[in-house]
Amino acid sequence: MTQDELQQLLITNAQHKTQEYTRLFHGRGHFYDAYKFLTIDSVDQVLYVPFFAPDDEEDAILTMLKAFYESENRWQALVIQRRYLKKAPSEVIEGMLPDDTFAFENGLKYKLNFQSNQNIGFFADMKIGREFVRENAAGKTVLNLFSYTCPFSVAAIAGGANKVVNVDMAKGALSTGRENHRINSLDSRSAQFMPYNILKSWSRIKKAGPYEMIIIDPPSFQKGSFAATNDYAKIIKRLGELASDECVVLSALNAPELDTAFIKQLFVDNAPDFLFVERLPNLESFPAIDEEKSLKNLIFKRSPS
């Protein structure tokens, strides 16, 4: 793909822009290998562009993006983020950030922060996972592990969940999670927030159960707290004591080096009464040359013998 072709693709995709969070270009799936370091999103009033690696064309890409931003006249700010640098700094290079910016999705909204964190507070690729939770949470007690800013909890309660227990060791993320429930006018009594290290807090987590739905959405690697290759199995081993008899599990993983077979084998070895049901599809706006290297959302259901 040439830079002219990239610009034309952006123009085409921007024609369908709505208020909803929209990925205009996804290079991370290596579908457009020349731009595997780049993603471009339309987020409310912000054109958001993370660079995941340095590239000789960065200055030329920025010139093109400024021209695209100005010609479209759809956003209030153009924000770039250099994810490859320490602390992943963001920079407003055109316009001015609104006082408040949100990710809008299926009638719900989630508060964002473009300037203080590596991640802005929302992962757009998980949309179909959140839709599954919203469609299947009615009347259930839900456990949301690695809840981050709690988008799954918001979706579950909007779908009629009785209670959602959110567990994440990042207190700041959970504070944003509380705010996400408030701005969607959801009953805060339906959500519980546990600022704990999951792997060291099983007794507290178990006490709030049993759970009819469990969401496992960990980072693939977080220094000092979680490594999927070693720690994912520790969670699967605990499912039996946390889950109700017919519990549904959404098991997610976004590590390109680990495939669906890795997750399935963890369940066979550590929770054999949880049977594989399906893998949820990924969004078409996140194309990947190899689906096994992209986001994996697997559904399991308990079938006690």
Q: Are 168 and 146 in contact (CB under 8 A)?
A: yes
Under DSSP, the state recorded for 198 is: G
Residue 143 near residue 167, CB atoms below 8 Å: yes
261-294 pLDDT, tens per residue? 999 999 999 999 999 999 999 999 999 999 999 9
Could you report the average pLDDT of every consecutive run of 10 residues in the chain (305 residues)?
A: 88 86 94 92 95 93 95 94 92 94 96 87 96 98 97 98 96 95 93 94 94 92 72 94 96 93 96 97 94 95 84
- Candidates 111, 92, 94; CA nearest to 102 is 111
Query: Quick one: pLDDT at residue 188?
Result: 79
Tokens 């009953």 map to which residue?
Answer: 187
Domains 3-97 and 124-302 share a fold: no
Q: What is the CATH code for 3-97?
A: 3.30.750.80
24, HSE (Cβ side, Cα atoms, 13 Å): 26
Distances in whole angstroms, Cα of residue 37 to Cα of each of 25, 99, 168, 223:
11, 29, 29, 22
Model pLDDT, residue 222: 64
Domain ranges for the chain: 3-97, 124-302
Residues in the chain: 305
Given CATH 3.40.50.150, say whether it is the number of domain 124-302.
yes
Whole-number Cα distances in Å, 25 to 36, 123, 146: 10, 15, 27
The phi and psi torsions of 286 (rounded to 5 degrees) equal -120, 65
Q: Cα(161)–Cα(138) distance, rounded to whole angstroms?
A: 5
Q: Are 128 and 283 in contact (CB under 8 A)?
A: yes
Residue appearing with tokens 């519990």? 247
pTM of the model: 0.94
Q: What is the pLDDT of residue 305?
A: 65
